[in-house]
Structure 1
């Protein structure tokens, strides 16, 4: 198991084997996550899970802005008409 020594300034060197495994280069940023009595170290970067759904799904045609606007307008019109159809108060 690779180890490293903490300096009086709170600095340490990430062992070469770990840097290579993570593909870290000079100037790269790292992120620390504290999990109970353990620390998770990983290369800092964008969380790609936030991009889920932004790209089209295989086999599906993308929806145009015009189609989206039309669907929104239809849904809004149905919502406005719904109380009248139910015989509610006017």
Structure 2
């Protein structure tokens, strides 16, 4: 087990040392879960990035036509169903 220390700011923020971020492949915006047991705290990165977690973080310099995106998704799904077949339950 490796000992790495950090310091908490007055706002409750803790900086994760660079060597630890690199070792764990962490980057800005990553989320963490805090597991508390007795007087110990374990911090684990949340590896999966779900679209629901990204909402509000997506930016674009041009307007996004959601209706066009839906139509393209429908067309691609149709192509996939026609090429792969579709089984009903």
TM range (shorter): 0.3 to 0.5
Which has the higher Rg, Structure 1 or Structure 2?
1
After TM superposition, the score normalised by the length of structure 1 is 0.45
After TM superposition, the score normalised by the length of structure 2 is 0.46
